[in-house]
């Protein structure tokens, strides 16, 4: 099992940092899966913790100038590591102006992901900052826990409004209630609603547009005006929205009526999926 990679370009380093920062805001621990072509940050939370799951996929070629890996076996050329994304994010913070960043899987007192950042220096002597981030290697027999989530058979798929507007609204709603009903239909309308003993608030978005549907269960029989809805934990939703540091090039939301909400964020070189289960 080997892994070694290098980033030389500042732009790539910055965008990789942004992705890691986003992940670290979403979860305390996550699984990093390395394959020959891709990196994946994954989370599949237990139902007791809210059952949220996340799937973030990065094409290594978009970030790394060198990328060598050798998986656990020739028939399973992959590596699964469990790590604390906050550690990774903190290490990358010191590497902000680095000339190059090397990542390596090492065995110190425990398995580590070692990051070595070469910082600019005025003299000919180079300055290198090294971070050893402890990781747990996940044995092959547990890999099946981390399958790519299947895109659910959703009732409605809709493009999201500007994230800032949505975030503002949800931040206020969080002060008023613990749960929120998110509903949308296939004519571009989405509503966010809360209701408590003191107050009921509903925010209505229009003309959002629906992604072209590729079949699925949303057959022509279903009425365009019918709302699909899901009642979710506001905190999970707020956490997700505030984790976003840059506006994605595409943001959409799929709703499986009364079951779950599935968010898809598409960035130039990364994609993020987030699943929030609905509550009764």
Partner 1 sequence: MPLSTQSDQGDGQYVLVASLDNVRNLSNILKAIAFKDHALFNATPNGLKVTVEDSKCLQANAFIQSEIFQEFTIQEDSVSFQVNLTVLLDCLTIFGGSTVPGVTTALRLCYNGYGYPLKLFLEEGGVVTVCKINTQEPEEPIDFEFCSTNVTNKVILQSDSLREAFSELDMTSEVLQITMSPSQPYFRLSTFGNSGNAHYDYPKDSDMMELFQCTKTQTNRYKMSLLKPSTKALALSCKVSVRTDSQGFLSLQYLVRNDDGQICFVEYYCCPDEDVEEE
Name the strands in the sheet holding 100-107, side by side, starting at the edge strand that comes first in the sequence: 66-70, 2-7, 100-107, 111-119, 127-134
- Token look-up 């079949």 returns 215
Stretch that binds partner 1, among 102-110, 199-207, 230-238, 272-280 (CB under 8 A): 199-207
Distance between CA atoms of residues 116 and 104, nearest Å: 8
139: which residues sit within 8 A by CB, 6+ positions away? none
Q: Which residues contact 59 (CB under 8 A, 6 or more apart)?
A: 37, 38, 269, 270
Neighbouring CB atoms inside 10 A of 260's CB total 19
| Binding region for partner 1 (CB under 8 A) out of 64-72, 82-90, 151-159, 198-206 | 198-206
Does residue 165 belong to the site contacting partner 1 (CB under 8 A)? yes
Is 188 a binding residue for partner 1 by CB under 8 A? The answer is: no
Cα 39 from Cα 243, distance rounded (Å) = 19
Cβ contact 243:26 at 8 Å: yes
Q: Check residue 207 for interaction with partner 1 (CB under 8 A).
A: yes
CB of 50 to partner 1, least distance (A): 24
Q: Please identify which residue in 199, 224, 246, 279 interacts with partner 1, judged by CB under 8 A.
A: 199
Residues touching partner 1: how many (CB under 8 A)? 21
171: contact with partner 1 by CB under 8 A: yes
Q: Which stretch binds partner 1 (CB under 8 A): 67-75, 98-106, 173-181, 223-231?
A: 173-181
d(CA 182, CA 255): 9
For the CA atoms of the chain, what is the radius of gyration?
21
* Identity of the residue, 10 or 201, whose beta carbon is nearer to partner 1 in the bound complex: 201
Map residues 116-155 to x or -, x wherever contact with partner 1 holds by CB under 8 A: ----------------------------------------
97: contact with partner 1 by CB under 8 A? no
Counting contacts by CB under 8 A, is residue 178 touching partner 1?
no
Task: List residues bridging with 115 in a β-sheet.
Answer: 103, 131
Q: Which residue has the tokens 């309308």?
A: 189
Q: For partner 1, which stretch binds (CB under 8 A), given 31-39, 203-211, 233-241, 260-268? A: 203-211
Applying CB under 8 A, which of residues 93, 127, 172, 250 lies at the interface with partner 1?
A: 172
Minimal distance in Å, beta carbon 180 to partner 1? 13
Residues found near partner 1 in the complex (CB under 8 A) = 161, 164-165, 168-169, 171-173, 175-176, 197-207
């Amino acid at each position: 099992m080997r892994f070694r990679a290098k980033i030389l370009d500042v732009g790539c380093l910055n965008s990789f940092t942004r992705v890691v920062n986003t992940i670290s805001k979403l979860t305390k621990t996550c699984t990093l899966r390395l394959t020959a072509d891709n990196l994946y940050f994954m989370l599949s939370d237990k139902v007791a913790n809210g059952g949220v799951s996340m799937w973030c996929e990065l094409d290594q070629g978009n970030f790394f100038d060198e990328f060598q890996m050798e998986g656990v076996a020739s028939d399973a050329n992959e590596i699964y590591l469990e790590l604390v994304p906050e550690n990774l994010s903190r290490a990358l913070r010191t590497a902000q102006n680095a000339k190059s960043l090397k990542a390596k899987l090492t065995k110190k007192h425990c398995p580590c992901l070692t990051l070595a950042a070469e910082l600019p220096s005025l003299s000919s002597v180079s300055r290198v900052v090294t971070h050893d981030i402890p990781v747990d290697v996940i044995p092959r027999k547990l890999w099946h826990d981390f399958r790519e989530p299947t895109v659910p058979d959703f009732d409605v798929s809709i493009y999201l409004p500007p994230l800032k507007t949505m975030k503002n609204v949800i931040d206020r709603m969080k002060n008023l209630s613990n749960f929120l009903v998110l509903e949308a239909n296939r004519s571009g309308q989405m509503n966010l609603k809360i209701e408590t003993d003191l107050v009921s608030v509903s925010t209505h978005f229009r003309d959002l547009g629906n992604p072209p549907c590729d079949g699925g269960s949303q057959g022509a029989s279903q009425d365009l005006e019918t709302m699909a809805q899901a009642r979710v934990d506001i905190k999970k939703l707020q956490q997700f929205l505030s984790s976003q540091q840059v506006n994605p090039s595409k943001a959409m939301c799929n709703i499986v009526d009364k079951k779950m909400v599935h968010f898809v964020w598409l960035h130039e070189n990364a994609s993020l999926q987030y699943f929030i289960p609905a509550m009764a």
